[in-house]
A = this chain, B = another copy of it.
Amino acid sequence: MIEVNVELKDRRYPIRIGSHILAESSSYAPLKCGDKVMIVSNPTVAKHYLTTVSDSLNRLGCKVSSVLIPDGEQYKTLDSLNLIFTALLQANHGRDTTIIALGGGVVGDVAGFAAASYQRGVRLLQIPTTLLSQVDSSVGGKTGVNHALGKNMIGAFYQPCAVIIDSASLDTLPKREVFAGLAEVIKYGAILDLAFFDWLEQHIDDLVSLQPQQLQYCIQRCCQLKADVVARDETEQGDRALLNLGHTFGHAIETHLGYGSWLHGEAVAVGMLMAADLSHLLGNLSRQDVFRLEKLLARANLPTVSPDGMSADDYLPLMMRDKKVLAGKLRLVLLQRLGQAYVTTNSDSELVRQAINHCSQFD
């Protein structure tokens, strides 16, 4: 078991990474005998892991309850949140309870916000079970739900007391979800760490086939990179925005197609290529480095061209509605070079169109 720490002074917390660690009671510190816990999961994940987690906690001497919310992004709502509150109140959970999020990013975000707001805040423990949630959403304290009029519009910054990552839980994850998670993995290399990008080029096939050793190293490296960014900028006033490479383009794709068609990571993959292409047009990234990124994404079985029939005209208005638009100015993350990103608010919209077109089928 490896440990990475998120250094937030009095709210410092560990991320524990290992294979089959959900079956070991010792993984669950600071939980201890006598603690009351509420596991929040969904039917898909519960089927595979709820018994394992409950058993470990029971052996530790915890009093365990659980509640399932329906599976799917469309259930990341205030209604699901309320389901959790009802379960907590029915089982008489007080301020001293701990909420455990067992699942992907959806469960993590909803359960995290429940922990932030139940009785104005109870302890939270994250057990992410998708690659995306292991390398991204479970670390850093962003929690929340969607509103009919916008994604992630309601929420809180709320840090867990620990994150437990069992890389073996990815064995049951649909392959397409694994690939989508690899998009975020590649993102870390591209924005922050050239050496890690090099490593990914050498080991991407091992990751695609879920080799335990490589997988654990990869998760550890991503968590460390995210932990460092979060420690520097908890509430996204600055540096944390770099993590949004490809996301403004990607959100346009997700919105245009309607949620559920392309996965988030798939949209981000194409979005990163657009950002890379734009960076090249601006004279930063070399043509060759754009190509390296494209090749790595393709080897991770990710799309590298815009969805059929979606044109630059479709992108721009949707991109302007992004949360990261400040005072009407499009704010984009671009690449100085591989391993170094920056934020810009003055991007020539003609160049943005060109970059989009370069990554489109007809190009």
In the complex, are the beta carbons of A85 and B153 less than 8 A apart?
yes
A9, chain B: closest CB distance, angstroms: 14
In the complex, are the beta carbons of B89 and A120 less than 8 A apart?
no
In the complex, are the beta carbons of B155 and A142 less than 8 A apart?
no
In the complex, are the beta carbons of A121 and B157 less than 8 A apart?
yes
A327–B63 CA distance with the chains assembled, in angstroms:
14
Residues on B with C-beta less than 8 A from A81 are: 78
Which of A86, A117, A149, A150 has the most chain B CB within a 10 Å cutoff? A117
Interface string of A105-137 (1 = CB under 8 A from B): 000000001001111110000000000000000
Interface string of A202-213 (1 = CB under 8 A from B): 000000000000
In the complex, are the beta carbons of B119 and A153 less than 8 A apart?
yes
A243, chain B: closest CB distance, angstroms: 15
In the complex, are the beta carbons of A147 and B86 less than 8 A apart?
yes
A104 within 8 A of B: no
Residues on B with C-beta less than 8 A from A326 are: 94, 96
A10–B273 CA distance with the chains assembled, in angstroms:
41
Interface size class of A (residues with CB under 8 A): 20 to 34
A150–B119 CA distance with the chains assembled, in angstroms:
10
A346 within 8 A of B: no
Closest Cβ neighbor of A142 among chain B residues: B120
In the complex, are the beta carbons of B89 and A147 less than 8 A apart?
yes
Closest Cβ neighbor of A114 among chain B residues: B154
In the complex, are the beta carbons of B149 and A86 less than 8 A apart?
yes
In the complex, are the beta carbons of A149 and B89 less than 8 A apart?
yes
A323 touching B154 in the complex, CB below 8 Å, given contacts A78-B82, A147-B82, A147-B85: no
A89 touching B323 in the complex, CB below 8 Å, given contacts A116-B156, A156-B121: no
A90 within 8 A of B: yes
